[in-house]
Amino acid sequence: MKSTRGILNPQLSRVIAEIGHTDYLVVTDSGLPIPQEVERVDLSILPNFPRFIDVLKAVLSEVVVEKVILAEEIKTVSPEMHNEILSLFPSDLVVDYLPHTEFKENTRSARAAIRSGEFTPYANIILQAGCDY
């Protein structure tokens, strides 16, 4: 049996184990369109369950991140979520902002997209995997 100290979902655990340096991993709200060619890990159960921030925290407990990409619109439309996301990363981490249309286009390059039940607008992030050594 897998230890209960990490992610238990078998699909998500496998996806994280397969991530390589510079790969993109997307954590999404409930509404972001996920391209057909990108593996979908759908964790959504009910509106706002699980919350985006809880899914992101779980992923960050197991993934080394060297850069993040957010939609520019999150700053003005969902500033509280924006601040909560930024609080999870070191202040010197590279954070790129793109218009939401470009953000969605960038998800096509992702290894996988993890869908939460979040209903907060623009609660989406692209994590670029780093290297642990």
Does 100 count as an annotated binding residue? yes
Establish whether 122 is an annotated binding residue.
Answer: yes
Which parts of 5-71 are beta strand (E)? Answer: 24-28, 39-42, 65-71
Was 123 annotated as part of a binding site?
Answer: yes
132 among annotated binding-site residues = no
Q: Is 82 part of the annotated catalytic residue set?
A: no
Indicate which residue of 9, 14, 21, 62 is catalytic.
21
Residue 9 annotated as binding site: no
The residues annotated as belonging to the active site are 21
- Residues at the binding site for substrate are 29, 100, 122-124
